[in-house]
Amino acid sequence: MSSLHIVCPLCHTINRIPSDRLDDRPHCGNCKQALFTGQPLELDSSQFQRHISRNDMPVVVDFWAPWCGPCKMMAPAYAQAAVHLEPKVRLAKLNTEQEQGLAAQFNIRSIPTMIIFKAGREIARQSGAMSAADIVRWISSHL
């Protein structure tokens, strides 16, 4: 039986979960909280690298800003997509106003921009607001 490394969205501890138990609502071995909440995870620079490189599942990051109208419009759709995609994919958000260094590192020129990371590497990128169905379809097409 294979297992996956899953980073806890709350305490950021790396958990090893049998792959056939992902749908059983696994909990963190450290803080005992649910590993999947059906909500996008808010990341900052101190957690970003750990989540994109140590999760064995793909991580999709929405690069956004609080002043961005399209970002605000897409936020509910992105949250809805998380419900459909977890536990196969982790959805996260990164505020580019607070994390300008990471936005520059990933050459974010327009927002919202979503990037799919797998094993710490970027595998796809999409700019512009999308509906929940389009987000799910776009992510699924790249995995």
31 is an active site residue = no
Return all residues near 105 (Cβ < 8 A) that are at least 6 apart: none
CA angle in degrees (0–180, nearest 5) for 103-73-7: 50
Catalytic residue among 8, 28, 31, 68: 68
11 is an active site residue = no
Active site residues: 68, 71
